Each structure stands twice: as structure tokens, then as C-alpha cells.
Chains A and B, each alone.
Chain A
Amino acid sequence: MEPRKHTQVSPGEKKDGGDSSSVLNGHFDGPVKRPAGGAGGTGTGTVRAAAPQPPGAESDPHRPAASSVMESWREERTRSVEDNEMSLPSIAAAYTTILRGLGEDPQRQGLLKTPWRAATAMQFFTKGYQETIIDVLNDAIFDEDHDEMVIVKDIDMFSMCEHHLVPIFGRVHIGYLPNKRVLGLSKLARIVEIYSRRLQVQERLTKQIAVAITEALQPTGVGVVIEATHMCMVMRGVQKMNSKTVTSTMLGVFREDPKTRDEFLRLIRS
């Protein structure tokens, strides 16, 4: 990789004191404006910065809202494998009602076991609720004296639109600048899986992935770009077959330094 030209840390920002608050501080205190000429788009869709208010964030600009986001992902599991088994019959019964409501005959051969299959499938599509980052990351953080950009791109992602309960699918590109600690590469893909296998909104998904990596590694910066197709737009509604939605979250030096961001965006484009 060519030598990076990003090492213009602003005075007062310590490079190796990188705890997550320094990366996130000030970035979640209300609507954040992207710097002009920010992320270059890939030309296939609209690039939007993900800057909604995180849950529980307050509008007080002096309180680092980041801490509530930190805590939220530590505590996140909302269901267990046992819960799944117990709720399967009621989800299957609900699907039988839906089939009848649509005018189909749930007793015909092709549909006999469909409520159970659909219920299991839906539980699989939302299995992210059963998993926590801590479980997935456990031992795969390594001390490594590497401070060049690490990118894992073209991670296939499948999620469910929380508004219409139809699939969203696309690709995730993740880049981070390690700060003495690197992460096992597949763990980046596993973090994507945890957050995407839920009822999601693409903007929130992008930010959750970025924040999880930041909290786990305390890197100098993280960039996440997601490019996805929403079946709710393709199969129904406006019915635009070829449209894609692109969202991105840039934290730390990726946000502050245009050259780093440029390098990241160029590398994921090729």
C-alpha cells in the first residue's frame, strides 16, 4: 500500500491515547454536518452520511452521548435460543392466519408446513438479536504494531427492512486504522452479521457496525460503507429495479482527514 498521507493529527489529539471517546466525542451530539466535498459517491446512488441521534442521546452538547451507545451494545441480547423454541408455535400460528387472510388454502400440499418453515426462516433472519459483540469478538483482538489502513470489502449483507418486513441485501465495505490493536478479519464480517440479521434501517445498521468496531478496538478511525438493494422498493411501491441505496459512517480520522477518507473510498471502489 502506498504510504499514507494522513498523519496530520491535530495538536492535542494523542495518537496512542485512542480511547473510543476521543474517536466519537463530539460526533454524536446532535445532527452533524459532513465537511464539504465529503465522501465521493460511487455514482450509482445517493451517498448519505449516517448521522441520526443514537438511542438515548441527549441534546446537551457537553455530554458525550457516545457512552449511552457504548452501553447499549454491551447489553443488547434480547432473546435466547430457548425463547426461539418457545415462540415458534405462536409465530407459526400467525403465519397460518396470514395465509388464510391472503386467500390461500393453508391445507394444500405445498403450504402444509409453510407456517413452520416461514417462522423458522424469520427467526433466522433476526438471529442478530440473540448474539452479542462480546461473544463474537472474544479472543480475536491482537496487539500488532500496524498503523496502516485495513480494509475488508464486499462483505455480502442480508437484512430485513423494519418497515415492510421484506429483505434488504447488498455489500458492506469496512476500513479502519488500527491503533496497536488489530481484529481478526472474519470478525468484521461477524459484526456485520450480528447487526444485519435484525429488523433494520440501513442508516442505523451502518452506524452500529462502525460504533461496534470503534468500541472493540479503539482504532484511530473507522469507515463503513453499505450499498444495498431494498426489495421494498424493487418488488412493490415505486418498483425501481436498479436502484441502490448507499450509506456511510466515518469516525475518527476518517471523518476529520479528507485524504484518509479518499484513500478508503478509492480502495473500496476498485
Chain B
Amino acid sequence: MEYHHASEMNGAVEDYLKMSKHNGWCRDEKESKNAADEDKLPHIEKAYTTILSELGEDVDREGLLRTPLRAAKAMQFLTKGYKETVQDILNEAIFDENHEEMVIVKDIDLFSLCEHHLVPFFGKAHIAYLPNKKVVGLSKLARIVEIYSRRLQVQERLTKQIASAISEALEASGVAVVIEAVHMCMVMRGVQKMNASTVTSVMLGTFN
């Protein structure tokens, strides 16, 4: 668990700017990114065909005929967060509101991919912030979770990225993010513990 003092929040924000290297892309660049996705698709497809045949499967059987394409598209969907930026989704949904009490959005379903095994982990995110004259549209908190979770992730980093993004965007007095997730890499393989879940949290500003 990492704790940040208020004076260190700037440091966390700089980290966040470095981590999300896709900050600030404009709409044209995004469209060309979508085209680049289409270009990459055949390569990913071919890689999946190799994987299937090396696993001992018959790639020509009916059920697997289009699987490389489907799996490639699924993987692109599951990592679509790389193409999205916080600026794009937050754009107009920050409002001036004289509210200084805690705002919590909890039980946000979250699905991500473990960057170590490329296997899903999923759970819930709970976000709280103390506004400082600015509140954000509630769904935008969930959209921020989506941006960062639809990537190859480590749960600790995911939690911090969400917290940093919110505090940067809102300049809030405090931000807290708690994520509780089940990692399929622990459940389906390895130690195979069905009921274990992992909880990570980041507390910024006055939450600290």
C-alpha cells in the first residue's frame, strides 16, 4: 500500500503523466490509431494461429476456424485503454459546485488483464473524493476506471493511476481508491486458490 502526503501529490501526478504516455492525442491522431489497429490485426491473428497449432489443436476444425481473428479482436478490445485519454472522456463533465463533502462511487465492476500471464483479473473499484469547488460527472469516474483497466496491468499500478488521474483532473482535496479483485492467474493456475482476492488502495491528499 502506498501513502502519499499532500505535498507529494505533485510527485504522484508527474508519475501519472509519465505512465500514461498517450496523454494529449487529438482526434486525428486517434483516428489514425484506429487504422493502425486494423493494420496490426493480421499480425496478432497469425500469432494466435501459431499458438493454437503449437498447443496441439487442429486449427482447421470448425470451431477454431475464425478463432485467431476473434481472439485478436478480443485482445484489442481488452487493451483498448491504451488509445483513450482522460482528457477526452472528461471534457465537459467538470462542474463548479460548492460541495465539500465526500463523494463516493462504489462497486464499479472492473475487468483487466494481468500483464504477467495475460489472464484476466476482475473485481470492483470504489472511488471517493473530497471536491474542492469542482465536482465531476459520476459516470466519468467509472470511465476513468475503464481507461486504465482495459490495459495490461498490475493491480497496484492500476489503483494509483486511477487515483492520480482523478486528483489531476479535479484538483480535489483528497482522493481515495480501493480495488478488490480476483486474479484468474491465481485461481485457474499456479496456487489455485479459488476464494482469494487482492485488495489495493491509494489515499491521496486529506484521505492520507
Chain A residues within 8 Å of B, Cβ to Cβ: 78-79, 83, 87, 90-91, 93-95, 97-104, 110-111, 113-114, 117-119, 121-126, 129, 156, 158, 162-167, 169, 199, 201, 231-232, 234-236, 241
Chain B residues within 8 Å of A, Cβ to Cβ: 40-41, 43-44, 46-48, 50-52, 54-57, 63-64, 66-67, 70-72, 74-79, 82-83, 109, 111, 115-120, 122, 152, 154, 184-185, 187-189, 194
List residues of chain B with CB within 8 A of the CB of A79: 55-56
List residues of chain B with CB within 8 A of the CB of A114: 115-118, 152
A121 contacts which of B82, B119, B187 (Cβ < 8 Å)? B119
- Decide if A95 touches B63 in the complex (CB within 8 Å): no
Shortest distance between the CB of B180 and any CB in chain A (Å): 15
Majority DSSP secondary structure for residues of B touching A: helix
User: A97-B47, A101-B40 given as contacts; is B55 within 8 A of A167 (CB)?
Assistant: no
List residues of chain A with CB within 8 A of the CB of B50: 90-91, 93-94
- Decide if A102 touches B116 in the complex (CB within 8 Å): no
A–B pairs, 18, beta carbons within 8 Å: A91-B55, A94-B50, A95-B51, A97-B44, A98-B75, A99-B152, A101-B72, A103-B79, A104-B79, A111-B152, A119-B51, A121-B117, A156-B194, A164-B70, A164-B71, A199-B64, A234-B111, A235-B122
Query: When chains A and B are docked, how far (Å) is the Cα of A114 from the Cα of B152?
Result: 11
Query: When chains A and B are docked, how far (Å) is the Cα of A79 from the Cα of B74?
Result: 27
List residues of chain B with CB within 8 A of the CB of A158: 187-188
- Decide if B44 touches A98 in the complex (CB within 8 Å): yes
B67 contacts which of A103, A123, A164 (Cβ < 8 Å)? A164
B48 contacts which of A98, A102, A104 (Cβ < 8 Å)? A98
Query: When chains A and B are docked, how far (Å) is the Cα of A236 from the Cα of B77?
Result: 7
List residues of chain A with CB within 8 A of the CB of B41: 101
List residues of chain A with CB within 8 A of the CB of B56: 78-79, 83, 126, 129
Shortest distance between the CB of A122 and any CB in chain B (Å): 7
Query: When chains A and B are docked, how far (Å) is the Cα of A164 from the Cα of B70?
Result: 5
List residues of chain A with CB within 8 A of the CB of B78: 235-236
- Decide if B67 touches A165 in the complex (CB within 8 Å): yes
List residues of chain A with CB within 8 A of the CB of B154: 110
- Decide if B44 touches A102 in the complex (CB within 8 Å): yes
Q: Contacts A97-B43, A165-B67 given; 15 further ones with Cβ under 8 A?
A: A78-B56, A90-B50, A90-B54, A97-B46, A102-B152, A103-B79, A113-B116, A119-B51, A121-B185, A124-B189, A126-B56, A162-B63, A165-B48, A235-B78, A235-B111
B63 contacts which of A94, A129, A201 (Cβ < 8 Å)? A201
- Decide if B40 touches A102 in the complex (CB within 8 Å): yes
Query: When chains A and B are docked, how far (Å) is the Cα of A104 from the Cα of B76?
Result: 11
User: A111-B152, A122-B55 given as contacts; is B115 within 8 A of A94 (CB)?
Assistant: no
- Decide if A104 touches B77 in the complex (CB within 8 Å): no
User: A87-B55, A199-B57 given as contacts; is B184 within 8 A of A167 (CB)?
Assistant: yes
- Decide if A98 touches B185 in the complex (CB within 8 Å): no
List residues of chain B with CB within 8 A of the CB of A101: 40-41, 43-44, 47, 72
Query: When chains A and B are docked, how far (Å) is the Cα of A103 from the Cα of B184?
Result: 23
Which 10 pairs of residues, A with B, have the shortest CB-CB distance? A79-B56, A87-B54, A94-B47, A101-B44, A97-B47, A118-B118, A165-B71, A101-B40, A94-B50, A78-B56
